[in-house]
Structure 1
Amino acid sequence: MSAAPHLTVITPNDLPVYPISPDERLDGNSFVKWNTSRWLASRTFKLMPWEMQGMHRALFDFCQSETPVGTLPDDDEELAFMLRLDVRRLKEIRAMEFGALRNWTRCLCDGRVRLMHPVVTEQVQDALERRALAVLSKEEKAVSMRLDRLRKGLMEQGWSKDVVRDDVLIRRMDEWLLEKRKGKRTVEVYRSAMLHAVQERWIGADVMRGL
């Protein structure tokens, strides 16, 4: 007589925590990459029936508008509705090794149990990282342009190129202006920043002679 199989009960606390916050969204300027070469080389593509592949791909798209982004509900009725199936057929598909829900596994999302897919999670994280880098690049460009305008404004007030070439000085002055003199940077504002730089000994008083 063979021994009964050992069954392990999985509780929500045993599930992996989904790494992406429910607050994260993929807006119109962000997208999840579809790696065609990786897909065509995968065991899933090679062994999954065409009907299942269509639904599998659709789930990749559906999950991008879910919360958290990149997950699916762990609910047969909701999944059946999304795939235009009856619940009984959905249950059959979930039990298939190469069904539409292949590699979708349960995870914990802010106290709720949902489904995640390792490739989708990886690609969503990549999309969010690319978006963050784009925002950072835009901010860095804005700062660079503001510092260039500051240098130009100081030169118009009589400071030489050698003086305004000092990056530490210019950044200190810019930070002071952002904190103390918000708004349009007029001639009077530039002059006040120049005087403040001298008072703080960021630069020698001789730069103000004759100005």
Structure 2
Amino acid sequence: MSDIVGDFWQYPLREGDTLASHEWVELHIHKLLTSRFLAYALREDRRADIGTALILWSECYRQDPAGTLPDDDVELAQLARFGADVEGWRAVREGVLHGWRQCHVETGGQMRSDRLGHPFIAEIAERAVKRKKGRARSREESRLAVMRSRVKSKLKGIAGMTRIANSAHAVDAITRWLDEHGLFVNEDNVRVAADAVAGGPRVVSLGADGETR
């Protein structure tokens, strides 16, 4: 996680690193049950703050970037289920947001400072985003592997291209060219792709029927 230096904390995730489609994140029960937040909320008879905090902890993972909250009381009141009762939210804000602090988020190469982050929650969010990206890469590699297999099969059926079919590098280059251009894996398109990656003309066949356009 990015270090916090003085009042400056660059959040470890950038704008666009989200978990909106995910239904679960880590919950560290021991850390929660032994936290200063819980101890003081119970000691000061602020049990309602515990539920509100849990709501915001859940909501923060649906934000952009994941694990942050807007530093705006109107928006926070909505997320915390206070609705239009902004004053009611403000009355509990300090206790509910125990451990949260302003953070700087990278957005298109610029820094914005209108978000709140929690150091421990940021670690959980960062791991979750890495897992999400890892799964996406795995799905993409599986898709390309199937496509490479089809390209290799088509190459073997084209006269004079058996040698190319036996080159993993050539098959990969042809596959990626077809993928980048959004083309079907058919004989005409494979021929064009083979010529293209070898520096030949790039006249493409766009249709599933193989008709050159």
TM over 0.5: yes
CA drift of 1:103 comes to 1.0
Partner of 1:141: 142
In structure 1, list runs of 5 or more residues that go unmatched. Answer: 1-12, 201-211
Residue 106 of structure 1 aligns to a residue whose secondary structure is: strand
- 1:102 pairs, out of 98, 101, 104, with 98
Return the alpha-carbon distance in structure 2 between the equivalents of residues 199 and 113 of structure 1. 50
Return the alpha-carbon distance in structure 2 between the equivalents of residues 188 and 78 of structure 1. 55
Partner of 1:59: 56
- Contact 2:8 2:104 (8 Å CA) reproduced: yes
CA drift of 1:144 comes to 0.6
In structure 2, list runs of 5 or more residues that go unmatched. Answer: 1-5, 106-110, 201-213
Higher normalized contact order (CA 8 Å, seq sep 6+, divided by chain length): 1
RMSD between aligned residues:
3.9
CA drift of 1:124 comes to 1.7
Matched, 1:72 2:80: no
Return the alpha-carbon distance in structure 1 between the equivalents of residues 88 and 151 of structure 2. 68
Structure-to-structure mapping, 1:76-91, within 5 angstroms: 76=73, 78-80=75-77, 82=80, 84=82, 87=87, 90-91=90-91
**Residues 66-118 of structure 1: per-residue CA shift (max 9 Å, x gap):** 44442223345654553537737744661xxxx32221122234433432111
- Contact 1:79 1:90 (8 Å CA) reproduced: no
Give TM-score scaled by structure 2 length. 0.63
Return the alpha-carbon distance in structure 2 between the equivalents of residues 104 and 66 of structure 1. 15
Give TM-score scaled by structure 1 length. 0.63
- Please tell me the residue identity of whatever aligns with 2:187: V
> Residues 83 and 182 from structure 1, CA distance in 2 versus in 1: closer, same or farther, beyond 3 angstroms?
closer
- Contact 2:52 2:96 (8 Å CA) reproduced: yes
- Contact 2:164 2:171 (8 Å CA) reproduced: no
Partner of 2:25: 33
Structure with greater helix share of residues: 1
Structure-to-structure mapping, 1:49-198, within 5 angstroms: 49=42, 50-76=47-73, 78-80=75-77, 82=80, 84=82, 87=87, 90-91=90-91, 94=94, 99-109=95-105, 110-157=111-158, 164-175=165-176, 183-190=183-190
Q: Percent identity, aligned pairs only?
A: 23
- 1:19 pairs, out of 3, 12, 34, with 12
Structure with greater strand share of residues: 2
Return the alpha-carbon distance in structure 2 between the equivalents of residues 188 and 90 of structure 1. 66
Return the alpha-carbon distance in structure 1 between the equivalents of residues 117 and 128 of structure 2. 16
